[in-house]
Amino acid sequence: MQKILQLKFNKKLFATGLVEVIVVLAILATTMVSIVIVTTRGLRQVKRDEIEDRAVGLQLRSLELAKSPATLTLPIKLQTGDIKNYYLQFPDASNAQGEVHPIEAVKSGDLTLDNCSLNSEYHVVLENTAKGEMYCNQMRIELKSASGKNYYEVKSIIVYKSINGFEKKELLAYRRE
């Protein structure tokens, strides 16, 4: 019996050591954490892009409405260089196109990151926006003149609340008188 035990102890067995196991676990943990970080950043970017796409869509929609004489009659009494401000409104769910309304009070300057709030006259109320999303859209229409002909410069300014805070985008279009 002693010989059998002695033979067992004399055999060289190759086993995995504790250090190797710890190294493998560390590599596995690092890989898993990296995958979670990349996935989270990707999802955050997708959400940011969705919000930006909705904002640009609103901006383009307001530009098209402001450029069309059928949806927006511009004031006749504007002088060259005069600016008139408008806002975009969606009256109900059945009217998906929206309407453009004038701001009667004289406003100086463009919509900024600081003055987009729920109380702003430029706040766009949408039925299907997710909680926490906010969009403000201002259209500044200026009468310009070139070569004896008048035309309107339509500037659509949108300020929206993104994951990174408030962001601002501007687009220009033109409309003949």
pLDDT in tens, 72-127: 777 777 778 888 888 888 765 555 667 777 876 655 678 888 888 888 888 888 77
C-alpha dihedral sign at 113, 117, 120, 126: positive
Task: Tell me if 132 is assigned to some domain.
Answer: yes
Domain of 65, in residue numbers: 43-176
Task: Tell me if 4 is assigned to some domain.
Answer: no
C-alpha dihedral sign at 174, 107, 129, 168: positive
* Per-range mean pLDDT, top range of 36-40, 111-115, 156-160: 36-40
d(CA 9, CA 31): 39
Task: Tell me if 17 is assigned to some domain.
Answer: no
pLDDT at 39 over 90: yes
Q: What is the mean pLDDT of residues 142-156?
A: 86
Task: Tell me if 35 is assigned to some domain.
Answer: no
pLDDT value for 10: 54
Task: Tell me if 121 is assigned to some domain.
Answer: yes
pTM of model > 0.85: no
Mark out the alpha helices in the chain (DSSP H runs): 2-10, 18-67
pLDDT value for 18: 85
Task: Tell me if 52 is assigned to some domain.
Answer: yes
Q: What is the mean pLDDT of residues 31-58?
A: 93
How many domains does the chain fold into? 1
d(CA 48, CA 50): 5
Backbone dihedral angles phi then psi of residue 49, each to the nearest 5 degrees = -65, -40
Task: Tell me if 8 is assigned to some domain.
Answer: no
Sheet holding 135-146, edge to edge: 99-102, 83-89, 135-146, 149-162, 165-176
pLDDT value for 123: 86
Task: Tell me if 74 is assigned to some domain.
Answer: yes
pLDDT at 169 over 80: yes
